[in-house]
Amino acid sequence: MSSPTKLITGLACVLALAASAPAEVKVGQPFPSLAGYALEGPLPPLAGQVVLVDFWATWCAPCKASFPAYSELARELAGRGFVLLAVSVDKTRGPYDEFLQRFAPAFPTVRDGAQKLVAEVQVPAMPTSYLIDRHGVLRAVHSGFHGADTVRSLREEIIRLLEEKP
Amino acid sequence: MKRRQLAFFVLAGLTALLAGCSTVHPWERATLADYAMRPDRDPVHNTMMEHIYFSREASSGGRGVGGSGCGCN
């Protein structure tokens, strides 16, 4: 291999590595274990539960709209083997605390301050929620929050998963 | 200049240019979503720019305001 060819190949490899990113988690694949990402805040028991992981941020307007609706959903399905876990991607603690004080969600929240989990999952938009079945497999992804439509389809999918045999 | 040197400089330049490209992921848009990034955040500046547009751009009816664009307002 001549020197210019080696140079071109080397530069192409460097650029390819720089451009590479973790693959997006797809429906049917296992969702990453949340315990391995040093999330700030206590994680609720998730084993054997139907889990909705919602990625949000204090600076995201649709996320603000989603919180009251998700609180209502969490209250409605509480005690049936369903956990709604909100994962904030805020890098700083202050706005996160203020937001939680203001909205007082009826579901647990944690903060992915280092943005490792969100980068691993490759969230396509803010907010995005991931519905995971009792075996930890991703079953549905909801990108964005579209008010009553999102809540209606989420409720149907969650109830369907809750009715599946463990 | 030798062809090899020329190829090196061209590739180095291209690499430097491409290294400047970046994708802002959805979870990294906190700064972009800040109020300070809005072009209409200052009402006084906004009103002044509206007036300039209205009176200097010959935009009859521009931005919902009727006018002839004569600059006499």
Residue A12 touches chain B, beta carbons under 8 Å:
no
Q: Is the pLDDT of residue B49 over 90?
A: no
The CA angle A47-A57-A161, to the nearest 5 degrees, is: 30
Query: Is the model's pLDDT at A106 over the cut of 70?
Result: yes
Coil, strand or helix: which one is B67? coil
- How far is residue B28's CA from residue B6's CA, in Å, rounded to a whole number? 38
Residues 6+ apart with CB under 8 A from B71: B55, B56
Per-residue pLDDT at A104 exceeds 60: yes
- Which sequence spans correspond to the domains of chain A? 24-163
pLDDT at A8: 55
Q: Do A7 and B11 touch (CB under 8 A)?
A: yes
Distance (Å) from the alpha carbon of A12 to chain B's nearest alpha carbon: 9
CB contact under 8 A, A115 and B28: yes
Question: 3-state SS of chain A?
Answer: CCHHHHHHHHHHHHHHHHHCCCCCCCCCCECCCHHHHCCECCCCCCCCCEEEEEEECCCCHHHHHHHHHHHHHHHHCCCCCEEEEEEECCCCHHHHHHHHHHHCCCCCEEECCCCHHHHHHCCCCCCEEEEECCCCEEEEEEECCCCHHHHHHHHHHHHHHHHCCC
A11/B28 touch (CB, cutoff 8 Å), yes or no? no
Touching check for B1 and chain A: CB below 8 Å?
Answer: no
Give me the pLDDT at residue B69, please.
53
DSSP letter assigned to residue B57: S
- For residue A166, the model assigns a pLDDT of 72
In the block, residue with structure tokens 């280092």: A114
Smallest CA–CA distance, residue B32 to chain A, in Å, is 9
Do the Cβ atoms of A57 and B34 come within 8 Å? no
The pLDDT of residue A69: 96
ipTM of the complex as predicted = 0.79
pLDDT tens figures, A22-81: 678 899 999 999 999 999 999 999 999 999 999 999 999 999 999 999 999 999 999 999
CATH for A24-163? 3.40.30.10
The set of catalytic residues of A is 60, 63
Find the residue in A nearest to B4 (Cα): A4
CA-nearest residue of chain B to A12?
B15
